[in-house]
Amino acid sequence: MIVFPNAKINIGLNIVSRREDGFHNIETVFYPVKSLCDILEIIPMPEQHNAVTFNQTGLIINEPDENNLCVKAYHLLRSQTELPPVTIHLHKQIPFGAGLGGGSSDGAHTLISLNALSPKPLPKDKLLELALQLGSDCPFFIYNSPCFATGRGELLLPIQLDLSGLYILLVNPGLHVNTGKAYSLSNPKTSEKSLDLLIRYNRNEWRNLIFNDFEEVVFEIHHEIAAIKDNLYKMGAVYASMSGSGSTVFGIFTEKINYELFFSNYFTFYQRI
């Protein structure tokens, strides 16, 4: 079985309040970027001694295999239903720690794929519960369609949002932003208008209406990331924003653009949506 865990962007991210459990309440709009993806292969191995064997190629993450969300997803699902021993191969193409949800997508797609291999598959609501145990962004990838999210990001409401026909440019400068530190330096506040309402405005108005609260913190520390957003607007983006807690910044364009000279030293991904 081969699947393609895709990236996501956040269109707006409001940090609403701090919670007693150490997390934060947020509201955001998740939008899948399905043309930027990792490659995940899962092969049942009934004669294999180990329950799960994992290997990875592509972008290398220097962490023990047991910390990978694909491996965690296997053990989590196996605690709830029957699973055969498997070999998992992940080819990593989505930059990690970049606000694109690559690791969360890998974990969620592993849950979905393994569930299909189980003789006693779990219902979707149970998969969503397990996905949340993997990470706050993981439940979104069970839906994998535009969603308005609240709570930690796990309370999901599918919405009608179609950007097809537009162009998206993702720019990642290779900087690591510590999400925990970014949250600790943030100033939670309730917005006057819910993002669920603002996203319905004409996208030409988003620039002055929809913001990512992490930018206030991250841009102060990493001026280079702020400069990327400024350059995207200079290039004609109708909307530009940092995704998640960064460091990736995306721009949405109505026309095809030539971007190579601006961002030749960065990881870039450019595609018609």
- Angle of CA points 131, 21, 216, to nearest 5°: 85
Catalytic residue among 38, 137, 213, 229, which? Answer: 137
Rg (CA), the chain: 19
Q: Sheet of 155-158: strands edge to edge?
A: 6-18, 24-37, 147-150, 155-158
* CA–CA separation, 130 and 145 (whole Å): 19
Specify whether 72 is catalytic: no
b (16+ CB within 10 A) / e for 125-155: eebbebbbebbbbbbbbbbbebbbbbbbbbe
Specify whether 8 is catalytic: yes
Helix axis angle, 102-117 to 124-134, nearest 10°:
140
Catalytic residue among 8, 106, 213, 229, which? Answer: 8
From residue 28, alpha-carbon distances to 42, 47, 157, 219, 240 in Å are 32, 45, 11, 19, 15
CB atoms within 10 A of CB 16: 16
* CA–CA separation, 3 and 71 (whole Å): 16
* CA–CA separation, 110 and 163 (whole Å): 27
Catalytically active residues, by annotation: 8, 137
